[in-house]
């Protein structure tokens, strides 16, 4: 049975020491999403342009950024490159559900901050409404990119992985955004033959579970054991890293199992990065402790 809740999002003003607000100003959802995305993007860009790095630091923003997977995705991809995953001098990267391009921006930062680094061509597959933002925010940077606007990211067509060296499935961003459609990670794992890097919000339950985000988005969270089992069967060298209770308040409490972030790569080679484990080594008990 459904539970009725009343909700809002905005600025609550309290007289110090009191619990009851004296004022509330609603923040519009669309402005809020952009605010957090853009601030995050410009924070990363400020890391690239060191002179204004300190201007962008805000404790609340830093705390919020910790609840996003972009940095983990970019760092993992970079580490895979350092472990000689790619043969080509220019790495072709495709990301599904890129938001305003934070993974892209982190990759630029990593590339520029290392002395021996890679060249990249980045391609994004995302909803049409992000296209203009993405284009405007990245067009003046000296990096090749394409943005392919799609109505829904399912089903994955061959076109998505054509000419790409690695596919990023950013389920975390899809889940946090107001994008529609369905980001079916199990389908991706089954269908995609190319090296794949995924950031997935999962439940540790044996089966997938329904969860509701604070933005009112109802989603089916894949089962961690199921994803790892499937991944291990497909590629015995695939590896994962699990972040327990990652950004857990983003979901409304519903009595379901623990929710966390799964970072996963299956690349057809035996590369085990620090802090990652082989999918086949997963023991259910380890998460349930």
Partner 1 sequence: MTENFVLTRFDPCPLSQENVLDSGSDSKALIAMDVRSKYYFVDDKGEFFHEYEIPSNADIHNCGGYVDKIVKYRDPALKQYLTEQGVTDEAFHTDRFPILATRSPQCDLILYRLMMFVKEHSDKDKISLFDLGCTVSEHWDFLNLLIDVGSRGQEDAATLMTYYGLDKSQMLLGVSRLMHDWVEAEHFNLLRADGTDFDFADHFFDFSLTIGVVNHVARPKEALAKLIKATRYAVVAVIWVTLDEQGYESFTHSLLPYYCFTLKELQEIGSDNGEGKWYITDYVPESKGSQQKSLIGVGTDNTSELGSLHLLYTSLEGFAKQQKLVLLEDAVFS
Q: Footprint of partner 1 on this chain (CB under 8 A)?
A: 2-16, 21-27, 31-39, 42, 45-46, 49, 52, 55-56, 58, 60-61, 63-64, 132-133, 136-137, 140, 210-212, 214-216, 218, 220, 249-250, 252-254
Kindly state the smallest distance separating residue 118's Cβ from partner 1, in Å.
24
Which of residues 165 and 209 has its CB atom nearest to partner 1 in the complex?
209
Cα–Cα–Cα angle for 38, 140, 94, nearest 5°? 70
Which of residues 17 and 274 has its CB atom nearest to partner 1 in the complex?
17
Kindly state the smallest distance separating residue 69's Cβ from partner 1, in Å.
17
Which of residues 39 and 277 has its CB atom nearest to partner 1 in the complex?
39
Put residue 84 in one of left, alpha, beta given phi > 0 → left and psi -120 to 50 → alpha. left
- Structure tokens, 3: 């539970």
Which of residues 168 and 221 has its CB atom nearest to partner 1 in the complex?
221
Kindly state the smallest distance separating residue 20's Cβ from partner 1, in Å.
8
Kindly state the smallest distance separating residue 43's Cβ from partner 1, in Å.
9
Cβ count within 10 A of residue 141: 14
Which of residues 6 and 288 has its CB atom nearest to partner 1 in the complex?
6
Kindly state the smallest distance separating residue 44's Cβ from partner 1, in Å.
11
123: buried, middle or exposed (CB in 10 Å: 19+, 13-18, 0-12)?
A: buried
- Structure tokens, 98: 């890129």
Give me the residue label for tokens 């339950």. 205
Distance, in Å, from the CA atom of 74 to the CA atom of 168, rounded to the nearest integer, reads 10
Kindly state the smallest distance separating residue 51's Cβ from partner 1, in Å.
9
- Confirm if 92 and 164 have CB atoms less than 8 A apart: yes
- Structure tokens, 240: 């994962």
Kindly state the smallest distance separating residue 275's Cβ from partner 1, in Å.
27
76: buried, middle or exposed (CB in 10 Å: 19+, 13-18, 0-12)?
A: buried
Cβ count within 10 A of residue 270: 11
Label residues 31-40 b or e (16+ Cβ within 10 Å = b): eebeebbebb
Which of residues 105 and 165 has its CB atom nearest to partner 1 in the complex?
105
Which of residues 65 and 150 has its CB atom nearest to partner 1 in the complex?
65
């Amino acid at each position: 049975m459904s539970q009725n809740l009343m909700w809002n999002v905005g600025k609550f003003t309290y007289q110090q020491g009191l619990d009851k607000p004296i004022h509330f100003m609603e923040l519009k959802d669309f402005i809020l999403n952009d605010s957090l995305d853009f601030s995050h993007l410009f924070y990363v860009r400020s890391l690239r342009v060191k002179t204004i790095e300190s201007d962008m630091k805000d404790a609340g923003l830093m705390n919020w950024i910790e609840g996003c997977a972009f940095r983990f995705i970019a760092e993992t991809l970079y580490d895979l490159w350092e472990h000689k995953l790619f043969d080509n001098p220019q790495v072709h990267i495709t990301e599904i559900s890129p938001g305003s391009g934070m993974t892209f921006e982190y990759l630029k930062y990593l590339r520029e901050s290392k002395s021996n680094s890679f060249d990249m061509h980045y391609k994004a597959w995302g909803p049409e409404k992000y296209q203009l933002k993405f284009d405007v925010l990245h067009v003046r940077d000296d990096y090749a990119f394409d943005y392919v606007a799609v109505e829904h990211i399912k089903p994955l067509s061959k076109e998505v992985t054509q000419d790409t060296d690695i596919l990023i499935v950013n389920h975390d961003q899809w889940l946090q955004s107001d994008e529609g459609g369905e980001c079916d990670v199990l389908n991706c794992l089954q269908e995609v033959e190319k090296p794949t890097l995924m950031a997935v919000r999962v439940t540790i339950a044996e089966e997938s579970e329904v969860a509701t985000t604070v933005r009112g988005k109802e989603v089916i969270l894949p089962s961690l054991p199921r994803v790892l089992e499937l991944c291990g069967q497909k590629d015995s060298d695939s590896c994962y890293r699990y972040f327990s209770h990652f950004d857990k308040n983003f979901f409304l409490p519903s009595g379901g199992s623990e929710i966390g972030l799964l970072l996963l790569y299956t690349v057809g080679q035996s590369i085990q990065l620090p802090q990652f484990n082989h999918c086949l080594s997963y023991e259910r008990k380890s998460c349930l402790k």
